[in-house]
Structure 1
């Protein structure tokens, strides 16, 4: 019995290691806490993985179970046990009578600020034997829903929905859909469900509900393969290539500068399509102005209440002069457009996509009128806002879409 117990523990550890490595090799690593411990309490592991992104927390339990054709045993060994563990983790994180301190592998210990989170997802990942036709969720009275996915599905979710906003959007829609079908077991894979979501403007359409209620699932089964290899998805993947400019900047440039973590956090809240749009704008500025002597160009957009200022500046300028102009540009745009968050994030670049500079400026409360007048004077001196062109820009997720 002791040998069997050790084997089960090793299987569990291997599964946790697999999921942690998958996540830490992806965009999720910035927000992921593998095996977080209650380091100022009982020092016990809270859950297998905790992902904290803005106002959303994702609590993950990892199991490694061989199905062996016994679904009832699977429900007991995996589903029920994992649900209890996830509910316990949620209870500790959100309802303890004391502060819970956790630690990211690359940061100092920090208090889990439960007031910051308006939504918590609980997910069971079965990294063991892969099979379909299992319940996609579990629920205990008054404790909310637990999503259940297998390893293959989890890999597809992380690869296809490869930004936090994209992943959260799917998890929200998925949860709403499953709450409408409690305890249902579908005759198609969750990958097919992801395909439906992506092919129908990121919702689960009414006709899907009708199809499931009529038990006519033949049109759904195998949909993932048709979607993944179809022209629309291929065109999206090709168009998205430029968007990884933002991901690369965060990993290789942004995190090395002062205040880099805060800048990275704002950039990584952009969806994949938004990153594509910003990357195209940055590359477009360089292509348009890099052969014009002393050119300084700007493009400004707002997303999620944050102002994003993209600038081209010429090579050969003194670094101090460039830094002064870029700093004042952020202050001027905060004053001029007053984004809801009071923040303007700067991405500046020069010829050949070199000389990257970054900044994040947050407006102070009760700004000195004299300082504001000085900013207005600077804007006039630079000739800004005198001959502006407003451009309405639409970026389709699927370029071939009519």
Structure 2
């Protein structure tokens, strides 16, 4: 929906292996940084939207994780809403917070995405991703994926799905094979996405991976499921990211210069589209641009859900950055690199910044706010004024379970 809300403050922990820290400690670190950045106090908060997806599995904390995290740092007496929506968890929290501010319910709202995925028992970690599909339909999903591969003359061995790898890798590999079959996309183009994001990630001190990798190194890395190698897939991670959302009245009080406007933010749930029916992502993107009064041609930078290299290529096309089928050429042209036409995933994206699933959506907003403020340092996009975030989560039937799209802008 069209929003009248502003981001006044952001905070984020480094992403990576944080087995030495509790979920509450990660949340508190990012929350305190966001509060400080906004120039407010804990007492100014009217409500909190707390996004966590895997805590119940990894730590055993269920039912009231947000209240537990906030109470431990002295924040209470406000409404606390716990949100779980797969990889779109904290993007959903952000969308809901912006909506409540736009409707005039609150003036100052905390959004926090916080997550732990590292665990000594890797089966626990993989079970989180298996739980992001319909667990009663795992065999049916596998059968559909195999059938899709059969149609293009490929075979898919899913024997390790859910035990030695996330089942989503098999989904992404299928997408990649289909794109290669339909449009001639190459492994080199997939590798170019990973290499590009490694350059961006090397400039982000909060990124999980700081090293730069070449196309050749990506191609020669360990294969997970053909054609995807390890650097073409997002890693697991721990971390937290927080955002302070405020009303226009509060933004004026705090000083609008550092407050970033939220023009539109939408939450969509997928469906099993019939042949010829407009897919969910097309509907969502069209609605977002219409509500924001902006289009792909207005974008200066984008943070999108590159859970795999093919995901980024497909979303270049979905978002209208290039024509359908041209995503591979788009990345090779340098258009999505820093200094290019529309830099994508200047943070390093999920593949290099990391992917603590409950924190990912909020972390995208953190990056875009820094870009629009001109505070992104060595990875700054020159003259950035309009930015888009795309964060998807889960997979049911043939479509994503959740998709959140947001457009932010710097006001004159």
TM-score by length of 2: 0.25
Which protein shows a greater Rg?
1
Q: Indicate the structure whose relative CO is greater, using CA pairs within 8 Å and at least 6 residues apart.
A: 2
- Structure number with the higher helix fraction is 1
TM-score by length of 1: 0.26
